[in-house]
Structures are given as C-alpha cells and as structure tokens.
Structure 1
Amino acid sequence: MHYRHSRKGNNMIKINHLTITQNKDLRDLVFDLSMTIQDGEKVAIIGEEGNGKSTLLRALMGEALSDFTIRGDIQSDLQSLAYIPQKLPEELKNRTLHDYFFLDSADLDYSILYRLAEELHFDSDRFASDQEIGSLSGGEALKIQLIHELAKPFEILFLDEPSNDLDLETVDWLKRQIRKISQTVIFISHDEDFLSHTADTIVHLRLVKHRKEAETLVEHLDYDRYSEQRKANFARQSQQAANDQRAYDKTMEKHRRVKQNVETALRATKDSTAGRLLAKKMKTVLSQEKRFEKEAQSMTQKPLEEEQIQLFFSDIQPLPASKVLVQLEKENLSIGERILAQELRLTVRGQDKIGIIGPNGAGKSTLLAKLQQLLSAKREISLGFMPQDYHKKLQLDLSPVAYLSQTGE
C-alpha cells in the first residue's frame, strides 16, 4: 500500500482501489474501495462483525498491520489525528490518571480538558490521582479517553464503536459533539440511532455468498436516507429480477416445445428432403438456444443479502413468575472505600426482565456481578453470564470451535 501526503491544505483522504487481505487465510476483507473523504465529513463504517471495519479504520490512519496485506493507494495530507479504539489499550491499563493527563501531554489544551470534564460530569480532581485506568469502569475509561483525545489538536477523529460502553447521557453528548465539530470524523458503529444522528457518509462492508465474497458500498447520504434507498433498491431489483426470470422461463418453455416438436419430426421422417429441412430448422433452434442463454447472463440478478443470524434458546422450563430469586434489603454497594449505593432494595422474580441504567461509574456492573454471585449459589437455576469485558470469560488460547465444544452440546 502507498500512503502518501497530498498537497497541504487539501484536508482530505483519497482512497484508490484499496484491498485488505488477511494473511492467515487470504480472505479479502475490503474489496476495491475507492472514495474521497472531504474535510468535515462524518463517515460511518458499518457492517457485520468480522467484515474488516476496524482493520479498514486502522489502515486509513496509516497504521502498519502485520497480519494483513494492504494494496492500493491512500493519499492524505493528514498531519494530526485523534483515535479511540474499541477496547482500552493494554499500555493504558496500568497507567495512572495523573500520568495519562500530566506526563508526555504537552499537546493537550487544558482549558478544553477541564471544560470537557465538566460537560461529561467527570470530577477533574481525579486527573491528578494515582488510580490506574484499568481499574475504571468501561464507560469511565472510555470517557477519559474522549476527554484526552478531544483536548488535543487534530484534523481527523477516528472512533471504533464509541457508544458501546457509554451511558445514555454521554452518548447524547457525543452525538452533539460529532455534529458540532468542524473536523472530519471517521467512526464505526452498530447503533442505528447513533448513526442516524451523526453520519453524512456511509461505507458499508458486506460479506455475501455465504461470507465468501466481499462487497463495499459507499454512499454520501445520511444513515436514514441510505437505509431507505437500500430497501427501495432491494425491492426494485428483486421485482425486476422476478419479472426477468418469469419472462425467461416463458420464452424457454416455448423454445423447449418447438425443439421437442422438431426432434420428434426428425425421428419420424423418412423423407430425405424433409429431413434436410428439419435438420436446418434444428440448427436454427439450437442457435436460438445459445442466444437465449447468453441473454440470460445479462438479466437482472436477484440482489444478494447477508445471511441472517439465527438465534434460538434451549427449551428450558421457565421458572414460575412468582418465585422470588433475590431479595435485597438495605444492601450497600461499594468498590474499595467508595460507596456506590446505600440501602438498595430490589426483588428479582422468576421471569423478570430487568434493565440497570445510570451514569458511568455509578455501579451498574458491580450490581450485576452481585446478582450473578447470589444467583450462582442457587442449584435450581441454570445461569448464563456475559461480562462487559468478554476476555474475562473467554479462553483466548482456544479456537472458537474448541471453546464452544466444551459444553458437549
């Protein structure tokens, strides 16, 4: 791949025939992407998990990717960028807040830093603390990265699924911030509401034909109009493909009858003159057949769809709706010496669906872990648990098949 600076002042990224191939299985992740990103554009990269969105984002940042072969040409006059990855980088986990904000941070604008802390309701006194970033909740860790990166000078902001761990209030703040800033923003998201409020350009990475063929769609439209256009195009192409197929089938049925009649007459004739005429007619029929087959190749094709994920749950007998599973009375929640909740009262019954909401750092994950601990002690309950950081549960040294095979189901 060639990543070169274009003339200064252009403030855009121009991508020419970019393909990214995963070295271990030679699978194209991004197929022939060509587009120009103008200064101030808000570009959303969307698509299913595993389609190469994060890889594309890092390639646009000019990052060298050891596991991938990148071909194509990226022209850019990008001098400074801000980047917030999908998960907290390992090198930040053991850093203290003090070091993160006050060591090697000569480029931070502290007036912006403290204003952002106030807007995001983050206690700015904590900037000077010795608390390790890895000990923060997922939402708080993301929030301090937002504060840090947005307080730097940057021309393009790169975000990898920024709304995943943020509380609702901060997500709304981030939507407004993306719309407000004049810089270019390139981001990945699965959140349709977030996309609807932020993006003005869509890059859609798809894997079709049983995930064996990559396809890239680029539209300079907001997400709502893009979705409407895709649905309309899909319906129109599906209808046209069905019409073309019906017309083709009708033509071929008529052709088969003519061919069958000529074949029957040829077998039955004993007259050499009639036989020659029928043979000539059969040659014409066969020539027509080849022409019909060639025309079929240019018919409107049925549009390709990404295969839907089919979810199902085991036929487990549900618990009685009235059965009390957990009864919290005046429960206190805390992390270390920090009290998160006092005199919490909560009753959990057999078929309840309970959503825990609140600002980042308020103790939602702590409460969930408390409930999981109490429920796991009950033998009559089969329990599933998905933590915020999946790496705490996944065995990373196993292949997906080996990990999923452990249950024997």
Structure 2
Amino acid sequence: MLELKDVSVWLSQNNRPLAEHFSFALNRGDKAAIIGEEGNGKSTLLKLIYDESLVDGYVDHSGQIIKKGRAAYLPQMMEEQDLAKTVAGYFEGQDTAGRAGLLASLGLAADFLRSHRRVSTLSGGEKVKIQLARILMEEPDVLLLDEPTNDLDIETLEWMENYIRRSRAPVLFVSHDETLIENTANVIIHMEQLVRKTRCRISVTHAGYREYLAARRQSFDKQEQVARKQRADYGRQMERWRQVYDRVDHEQRVISRQDPGGGRLLKKKMKAVLSQEKRFERQAESFLDFPEEEAAILTRFSEDIRLPKGKTVLDFSLPELRIGERVLARNLRLFVSGGEHVGIVGRNGAGKSTLLAALWEELRNRRDITACYMPQDYSQKLNYDQTPVEYLAANYTKEDITRARTYMGSMKFTHEEMTGKIGRLSGGQRAKLLFLDMVLRNAGVLLLDEPTRNFSPLSSPVVRQTLRDFGGAIISISHDRKYLQEACDHVYRFTEAGLELQPE
C-alpha cells in the first residue's frame, strides 16, 4: 500500500538530517504512529510521503516513495483558501446526503453543513471534523493523519479511536495524544535527534505503544549494563596489565650490565606486554556504547510560586456568553482560589475558548497577581515573523537576550531555531516558547487552552508533571484525558446551561 525505500531527508538551511536511509512498508491492517520530540520532522515526513511539493523550499530528500491506491492526507493546519470558504462551500460537490451516517458520527448536522459560516470562524475541533469528513467520504486506500485529534471533544476523540482501530485502510499518523496511541497503534515509528541534533535515528517496532516503551527501556537497561560491565572488566584488566608493565620496567632498569642475556629476555617480555596493551585497546574499540536517548525537557516554574489557599484568584459570573447574536451559554459561574487547578471540557464549538478569552480579560490587568494566557491559536500571542530571541527578550537588553538564549538552550533549541523566524518552528516548539514566556514572567496564574496538544507523547508526561507541581492557579481547557486526570483538581463541563462540576 505504501513503501519507503532508502529515504533520506535533511533541512536545506543547515543540512541537519531528519532521516537517513529509512525503509518502511505500511501494509493492510497497520496502524502506525510516528512519535518523537518537537521539531524532529514528524509532520515533514508525513507531508513528503503525501506530496513532495509540500516540503519544497525547506527540505531536501532522496530515495523512493511508492504509493499504491489513493492516499488521503489530513494536515495539521488548514489551507488559507479553505479557511476563507463557507462551510457549505467547503462541502460543495460532495455527496453529504449519502454519507449521513459518517457525518452524524462526527457530530456534523445537516443544517451545519449547509451553513454560510466562514470556516475561519469555526472552533479548532469543528475544523478538524469537517476535514475528516471530507477525506473519509473519499474512501481512501491509505490514510495519512497529522494530529487528527487536535481540539476534538472527548466524544469525537473516542469515535476517532474506534475508527482508526476498525479502518480497513492502513493508517499512518502523527499524534501527541498518548491515550489515542495506546489504544490504536500496532506499529511505532520513533524519530529521534541525538548529539545536539547533529545525528538522527529512526526505529520501527511492530508492537503497541506500551509494549514498545517497555521493550525500549529493557533494551536500553541491558545495553547500559553490558557497557558498564565491559568497561569495569577493562579497568581491572588494565590494572593487572599496569602491574606487570611496572614490574618488567623496573627489572629492566635495575638489571646488571654483566647479564646481557637477561636484558634481552626482558626486552622480549616488554615487547609482549606492550603488544598485549594494543590488543586490549583494540578490544575496547568494539565495546557497546552507552544507550543514547533523547530526553524530554521542559523548563520548570519557580518553586517560590505559591498562592495562599484563601486567596481569591477568580470570582466570575456572567448571565450570558455570546458571539455576536449567538448565545453560547447562560448563568456562567466560576470561583477559583489559591493554587487550584481547574479543567474545562465540552463539545466542539460550544464556546470554551470564548469563555477562556473572557476570563483572560478579567485577569490580565490585575495588580495582585501575574496572569499569563496560552491561546489555542498561537498566532494570537506569537508574531511568526519575529525570532524566538526577539519574542522572549522583549526589551532586547544584553541581559534579557542572554537569559532567553540560556532558557531556550536548556530546552534544546539550536542556534538556528533561536535566531530563525518563529513561523518556521513546529507547533510543539511554539508551545515551548509560550511556556518559557510564562516561566520568565514568573506567572502565578495560567490560563491554558489545550496546553498539551502540541507536545509529543514522550514530552507530555513531563508537561503534566510540571503543571501538576505548579504552585499557582491553573484554569485550562483540555480534551487530554491523562492531563485532566493527573493535573486537574476539579473538572467542569461547559454546557449551554453553564459550568457543571464533574464527579471525581
């Protein structure tokens, strides 16, 4: 169905390799997840497989990509031309009536599909749903999905899991949703960047995600044990060799000139000792290396951030939440105190992001707290034409620049990434920038719209731990089931009737 033969990919700007001599076949029944840290080339590889023209101008590549049948591709970001259409225009020419079952399963009603709302005004989840609907109506032979669950509500996310599991067509997907990968993938493709992003490694394992992680950990532990034993044995061996060498050397130096025969014997013995040293050194060259592992890194918030339990962070009430003439919800009430961590869930398009933006307006000018906001659309906070250094070092003093570079370096940004345009960074790297900004501002209150959506499944546990340990208050929208369970004290469901506290 899909085969890659000896494919190599490298960035045009600095020749940094993303893949080298990579071969892989995607067959019927395969549900293959591409995992790896932010900026490692996962989306780039998926674009290249679908259409080489999508990566023209920023990567070079070699090798063969063989596709049999019709491939469908879900991009991480919609095209500008599609965003400018109405919903009805987006589905123009499609047999929506004949696929009512599929559309209903995605929560797309007939009147919604006929609406003249601009696609650009839809929520993130609604955008994903209409894209999924259109490509699935084509009944493709191969599905290529880049973050298919981004912004989906939990009900649709569970539908997506079932769809991938049951799909007759093989699926190759990139996702940051650990639960989705655990529940669907039977092949794991791991893209890594090693030695300060100068080397790449891609491994393919035909197993589920948990099995892959367990086998990888076991393999790394065994490799480390063998490597340590080899070096320990070598150390003892060389210590014994040193003792023999010192004894022969001493004997050579003190031997009497009246015994030339004994001197010749010692010279032969020393030659044998030195030959043995070279043999030991050659053996050492074949020792196993210690396992190289790309660690997930996220700068932590200061431990000094602590809000008293009795402090009122937010006391919010609103009779009606509107967008234009449309009423999204009534009788909204939310009280947050001290270091509470609150999660908000709800269906796509209900108005959760609109609510969070309203809460931001309520908190942004407070003098007694420092609040920071991470929107779902990063372009609301980031100027994509700026460099990361310019964004983080707003005053552009030498001290600010040094501090920004130090923090970015700790999160494995390369010099090129620090000084290139933000628009060239991956979604995960942009998310890291927003986190860094919050850390540098010493924020005590965080408003986060889908905070884990662009972090890899390997980074997400670190993100969850960082936010769980945060001593300030968090108000977040999320559909990440692990995040809601591990990092939130309380979870509210957003409905037209207001916020309903969910049972723990």
TM-score by length of 1: 0.92
Structure 1 residues 328-337 or 371-380, which shifts more? Answer: 328-337
Alignment of 1:179-198 (within 5 A): 179-198=165-184
CA shift in 2, pair 1:111/1:200, >3 Å = farther
Code of the residue aligned with 1:31 in structure 2: it is E
Give the superposition deviation at 1:193.
1.2
1:302 equivalent to 2:290? Answer yes
Structure 1 residues 265-274 or 129-138, which shifts more? Answer: 265-274
CA shift in 2, pair 1:162/1:135, >3 Å = same
Give the superposition deviation at 1:393.
0.9
Alignment of 1:109-258 (within 5 A): 109-111=95-97, 113-258=99-244
Q: 1:347 aligns with which of 313, 330, 335?
A: 335
Code of the residue aligned with 1:387 in structure 2: it is P
CA distance in 1, matches of 2:73, 2:207: 24
CA distance in 2, matches of 1:174, 1:376: 36
CA shift in 2, pair 1:190/1:268, >3 Å = farther
- Contact 2:31–2:170 (Cα < 8 Å) also in 1: yes
| Bigger relative contact order, structure 1 or 2 (CA pairs below 8 A, ≥6 apart) | 2
Other structure's SS at 1:195 match: helix
Structure 1 residues 169-178 or 206-215, which shifts more? Answer: 206-215
1:392 equivalent to 2:380? Answer yes
Code of the residue aligned with 1:339 in structure 2: it is V
Q: 2:5 aligns with which of 4, 16, 20?
A: 16
1:50 equivalent to 2:39? Answer yes
CA shift in 2, pair 1:267/1:400, >3 Å = farther
- % identity of equivalent residues: 39
1:329 equivalent to 2:317? Answer yes
Other structure's SS at 1:406 match: coil
CA shift in 2, pair 1:68/1:364, >3 Å = same
Q: 2:68 aligns with which of 59, 77, 89?
A: 77
CA shift in 2, pair 1:76/1:379, >3 Å = same
CA distance in 1, matches of 2:77, 2:51: 19
Give the superposition deviation at 1:310.
4.3
Structure 1 residues 149-158 or 299-308, which shifts more? Answer: 299-308
Give the superposition deviation at 1:275.
2.5
Structure 1 residues 392-401 or 181-190, which shifts more? Answer: 392-401
Give the superposition deviation at 1:233.
1.0
Other structure's SS at 2:33 match: strand
* Match in the other structure for 1:318: 306
CA distance in 2, matches of 1:372, 1:185: 39
Other structure's SS at 1:356 match: strand
Code of the residue aligned with 1:277 in structure 2: it is L
Give the superposition deviation at 1:268.
2.6
1:369 equivalent to 2:357? Answer yes
Give the superposition deviation at 1:224.
2.0
* Match in the other structure for 1:269: 255
Alignment deviations for residues 48-75 of structure 1 (CA, whole Å, 9 cap, x no partner): 1111111111111132222111111122
CA distance in 1, matches of 2:243, 2:156: 69
Give the superposition deviation at 1:14.
1.9
Code of the residue aligned with 2:43 in structure 1: it is S
Other structure's SS at 1:384 match: strand
* Match in the other structure for 1:99: 89
* Match in the other structure for 1:28: 17
Code of the residue aligned with 1:249 in structure 2: it is G
Give the superposition deviation at 1:40.
3.3
Structure 1 residues 314-323 or 219-228, which shifts more? Answer: 314-323
Give the superposition deviation at 1:315.
4.8
Other structure's SS at 1:294 match: helix
1:359 equivalent to 2:350? Answer no
Code of the residue aligned with 2:74 in structure 1: it is I
**Structure 1: tracts of 5 or more residues without a match:** 1-11
Give the superposition deviation at 1:112.
5.3
TM-score by length of 2: 0.75
Code of the residue aligned with 1:68 in structure 2: it is V
Give the superposition deviation at 1:116.
2.3
Code of the residue aligned with 2:369 in structure 1: it is I
Code of the residue aligned with 2:30 in structure 1: it is E
Give the superposition deviation at 1:111.
4.3
Structure 1 residues 111-120 or 83-92, which shifts more? Answer: 111-120
**Structure 2: tracts of 5 or more residues without a match:** 404-504
- Contact 1:113–1:147 (Cα < 8 Å) also in 2: no
* Match in the other structure for 1:8: none
CA distance in 1, matches of 2:362, 2:168: 49
Give the superposition deviation at 1:308.
3.5
Code of the residue aligned with 2:137 in structure 1: it is A
Code of the residue aligned with 1:368 in structure 2: it is L
Structure 1 residues 293-302 or 315-324, which shifts more? Answer: 315-324
CA distance in 2, matches of 1:294, 1:244: 13
CA distance in 1, matches of 2:392, 2:317: 38
Give the superposition deviation at 1:209.
2.0
Q: 1:88 aligns with which of 74, 78, 93?
A: 78
CA distance in 1, matches of 2:361, 2:66: 53
- Contact 1:14–1:75 (Cα < 8 Å) also in 2: yes
Task: Give the superposed CA RMSD.
Answer: 1.7
CA distance in 2, matches of 1:398, 1:325: 33
CA distance in 2, matches of 1:84, 1:112: 22
Alignment deviations for residues 14-60 of structure 1 (CA, whole Å, 9 cap, x no partner): 21111101000101001221121113321111111111111111111
* Match in the other structure for 2:370: 382
Alignment deviations for residues 274-330 of structure 1 (CA, whole Å, 9 cap, x no partner): 322222212111111111111112222211111331422135542322122322235
CA shift in 2, pair 1:229/1:99, >3 Å = same
CA shift in 2, pair 1:399/1:263, >3 Å = farther
Give the superposition deviation at 1:132.
0.7
CA distance in 1, matches of 2:253, 2:280: 25
